[in-house]
Structure 1
Amino acid sequence: MRSFRDLALRARRWPGAFALALVLPLAGCATDSGGPDAAPPASGPSGSGPGTVSTTPSATGAPTSAPGVRGQLRVDGDVRQYLLHRPAADDGPRPLVVAFHGRGADAAELRAKTRLEKAAAARGMLVAFPEGLGRGWGAGTRATEQRPDPGLDVRFTEALIEHLVRTERADPERVYAAGFSNGGSMALRVAAERPGLLAGAASVSGQLATGDAAVEPTGPVPVMVVYGADDPVRPLAGLPSPPPDPEEPILPTRSARDSAAAFAAAGGAGEPVTREEKGYDRTVWRLGADAPDGDRPHGTVRLLVVHDAGHTWPGSTVPPPDGFGPVSKALDATDTILDFFADPDPAPGPGR
């Protein structure tokens, strides 16, 4: 992984990648029973131009210490919000997971579905749940009427990571992205386009965009794709010709396997190995299989196809919406993903 200094130098070449902002605590913390407030619009003509982040000072001038705080920062003229959870211990730089909710959902919904903040806190990890504009993410490269700037969310993610490295002592060499559905596709897009920014990424029920919105992996990064074999919303085989959506067009996607294979190819992986486990099939590509030992990237790309699972988060205790299919209990996606982030190149074993 590159050092933070290397990332900062690269940021000078990325429009709006890493600009500064401070946490602004909002009144109260979201609970599982209530959704977060919508991000307010940028204020008037003074909003920053494309590719910039405005600084918003906090009430105290320093990061807050209470867990489960809400923060906001201005990116490209939009005020963006996120929910941050901290582990109880504060013993130095901590890993950071950025978790993207699905389309039509929000940070609180993903937190309830995954219980990610609890599992991450037990591992000493920070978790940031950003809020998407219009409750969705620009997971593809095609401009639409609703998202005329398809790179906006990538720049927001960059800015949020830099901000949390600076204010929360997130370890820049242990930053990870995860997400569900449209949010899973967003996590894959960040990994594809900014492989030096992340130490790993995971997607549940999300695939890489293709067609005129195609996202292409550009370098080696450990990736895990978890997918329900019976997903009725975004089929395992992908949506190369999705139905139109009058509110926001649904982007065409590759299959789950082709999404994983694209990352494997970008990482110089060898041939995959597939094993049948209890309740799911696991396919593993080892990155840099043919590279010299000194140049070999660390990690793997993994595809877990979960049997008897729909467009759902395996292991969740939250009932899915009607029509999304069953939730598998054969796999705990939250623990599996966090274990993968901690060790993306483990010896074979359950869930790995």
Structure 2
Amino acid sequence: MRTVRRALLVLFLAGALTGAPAGAPPAPGLSAGTAGATERPGPGTHERTLTMDGVWERDYLLHVPPGRAGRRPLVIALHGGLNDMRYMRESTGLDAVADANGFLVAYPDGFMRTWNAGGCCWFARMAGIDDVAFLDRLIDTLAGQGLADPRRIYLTGFSNGGGMAYRYACERARRVAAVGVVSGSLAVRCAPDAPVRVIAFHGTADFSVPYDGGGNQDWNNKDPFPPVSAVMDFWRSVGGLAPLDRITLETARTTCRTTGRGRTGAEVELCTVREGGHEWPGGQGADPELRASPLIWRFFSDHARNG
């Protein structure tokens, strides 16, 4: 395993050294910055960099909505495996929802386009990347700069990014106010030390992360994914919640059901998309009948972290 990790890190460094030259300008429509910048970023999308362990640089996009200054809710949006921060931004439409509702969105890049969500996925898992520590650092940075409200930190993610959102909620249940997962699964054993508020979206025709369980968590990890119902039951048990028997949304192809809010303030909601595939509802190329991003924010906006 050490040999594999060393080889992956060499490949990563080689890619970094042969990539964009030092001082290359940011992509069109983006401004550049560093995590330690003291100047408050204005409205728009900014490309920023965090340094981990004094060596590794991790990039993220920070979208700041127009309006008043001050601490705002923060949504961290985690891309799927082999995607990147730019694709996550373009495919979800979260910027528009943020502008309409006044919250920040951070789109971080995973290690070699993957996240270490436990049993999945690929390079980040094999290299032993500590993505929980990376997300801790990202939150600390944005809260420390007076940008993010520590009581309103939310994670959302697609596929591998959704699994990473679940993992962070497992290990940092008292730090995250709620998570929203699309086409993702819980790929790690954990025991959260507090209830977690969860909204999930999953298509019944998802062959990458099957709705009824199965498939392979990773190309070199043949463990099957658990059924979506088992993941929801796990979060219900953590929160001591009722069954998912109250319908909040019904369309031709989608049914959303919630447990309702429990005594601790926790809640679990599942939106099942009949014949839906491995996609972000309402995103690029997806059926526009259901738009996940506004519904995720609706759920988030109802929940702040206790304490």
* TM-score normalised over the length of structure 1: 0.71
Alpha-carbon shift at residue 274 of structure 1 (Å): 4.8
Match of 1:176? 154
The aligned runs of 1:297-308 (5 Å cut-off) are: 297-308=264-275
Choose the corresponding residue for 1:255, options 222, 227, 239. 227
8 Å Cα contact 1:140/1:251 also seen in 2: no
Alpha-carbon distance between aligned partners in 1 of 2:274 and 2:80, rounded to the nearest angstrom? 21
Is 1:114 aligned with 2:89? no
Alpha-carbon shift at residue 238 of structure 1 (Å): 2.3
Choose the corresponding residue for 1:188, options 166, 187, 202. 166
Alpha-carbon distance between aligned partners in 1 of 2:126 and 2:81, rounded to the nearest angstrom? 17
Alpha-carbon shift at residue 245 of structure 1 (Å): 1.8
Report the residue type matching 1:27 in the other structure.
P
Choose the corresponding residue for 1:310, options 260, 274, 277. 277
Is 1:280 aligned with 2:254? yes
Match of 2:213? 238
For the aligned residue pairs, the C-alpha RMSD in angstroms reads 2.8
The aligned runs of 1:207-222 (5 Å cut-off) are: 207-209=185-187, 213-222=188-197
Structure 1 residues 216 and 163: CA distance shift in structure 2, 3 A = same
Choose the corresponding residue for 1:265, options 226, 237, 248. 237
Alpha-carbon shift at residue 141 of structure 1 (Å): 6.1
Alpha-carbon distance between aligned partners in 2 of 1:142 and 1:236, rounded to the nearest angstrom? 17
Choose the corresponding residue for 1:226, options 190, 193, 201. 201
Paired residue total: 277
Unaligned runs of 5+ in 2: 1-22
Alpha-carbon shift at residue 146 of structure 1 (Å): 5.2
Alpha-carbon shift at residue 243 of structure 1 (Å): 7.1
Match of 2:18? none
Match of 1:330, SS?
A: coil
Alpha-carbon shift at residue 260 of structure 1 (Å): 1.7
Alpha-carbon distance between aligned partners in 2 of 1:102 and 1:144, rounded to the nearest angstrom? 12
8 Å Cα contact 1:274/1:281 also seen in 2: no
Alpha-carbon distance between aligned partners in 1 of 2:123 and 2:147, rounded to the nearest angstrom? 38
- The Cα offsets for residues 311-349 of structure 1, whole Å up to 9 and x where unpaired, read as 011112x22xxxxxxx3333110111011101259xxxx
Structure 1 residues 286 and 334: CA distance shift in structure 2, 3 A = same
Alpha-carbon distance between aligned partners in 2 of 1:250 and 1:69, rounded to the nearest angstrom? 39
Report the residue type matching 2:91 in the other structure.
K
Alpha-carbon distance between aligned partners in 2 of 1:196 and 1:286, rounded to the nearest angstrom? 20
Report the residue type matching 2:25 in the other structure.
A
The aligned runs of 1:1-352 (5 Å cut-off) are: 27-29=25-27, 57-58=36-37, 61-65=38-42, 67-76=44-53, 77-140=55-118, 147=125, 150=128, 152-209=130-187, 213-239=188-214, 242=216, 245=219, 249=221, 252-275=224-247, 277-278=250-251, 279-288=253-262, 296-316=263-283, 318-319=284-285, 327-344=286-303
Structure 1 residues 333 and 251: CA distance shift in structure 2, 3 A = farther
Structure 1 residues 99 and 170: CA distance shift in structure 2, 3 A = same
Structure 1 residues 78 and 112: CA distance shift in structure 2, 3 A = same
Identity across the alignment (%): 33
* TM-score normalised over the length of structure 2: 0.81
